[in-house]
């Protein structure tokens, strides 16, 4: 949903200090499917969550508060889906943030260059 531009607000339990383009690895695949830019992060009240439901796409506001005591919305922009996913070798135990090795980072940058060149 993020790479399709339908989900522009990622809900998490903590604020995000990163303000840059990140690669997205589909859970359980060890493959980068594209990139998105994080441009902001803010705490979300129940009324904030209700007002932005179409942006975060959570089906249940109550479930958000069950998962996160103090939910935060990460503002996502400029999604870019690669034509072909890139297999990467994340370190074991990486969950939210994965540091890519040099070869994987280079492969992602090459796919990004191809994506931008095709536009």
- Mean pLDDT on 63-84: 96
Q: What is the mean pLDDT of residues 78-94?
A: 90
Share of the chain above pLDDT 90, in %: 82
Mean pLDDT of 76-102: 89
Residue 52, token pair as written in the block: 């932005």
Residue pair 71/43 in contact by the 8 Å Cβ criterion = yes
Please state the domain extents for the chain. Answer: 9-118
Higher pLDDT, 7 or 116: 7
Position 23 scores a pLDDT of: 96
Go through 73-107 and write b for each residue having 16 or more CB atoms within 10 A of its CB, e for each that does not: bbbbeebbebeebbebebeeeeeeebebeeebeeb
Interval 78-102 mean pLDDT: 89
Residue 33: partners with Cβ closer than 8 Å, 6 or more residues away: 3, 24, 25, 26, 81, 82, 85
Tell me which CATH code domain 9-118 carries: 2.30.130.30
**pTM, to two decimals:** 0.89
């Amino acid at each position: 949903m993020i790479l399709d531009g339908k989900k522009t607000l990622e809900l998490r339990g903590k604020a995000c200090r990163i303000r840059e383009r990140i690669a997205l690895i589909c859970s359980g695949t060890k493959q980068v499917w594209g990139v998105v830019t994080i441009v902001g992060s803010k705490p979300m009240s129940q009324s904030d969550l209700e007002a932005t439901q179409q942006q975060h796409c959570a089906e249940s506001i109550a479930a958000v508060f069950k998962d996160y005591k103090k939910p935060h919305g990460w503002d996502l922009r400029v999604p870019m889906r690669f034509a072909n996913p890139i297999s990467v070798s994340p370190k074991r135990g990486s969950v939210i943030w994965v540091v890519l090795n040099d070869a994987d980072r280079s492969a992602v940058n090459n796919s990004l260059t191809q994506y931008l060149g095709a536009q």
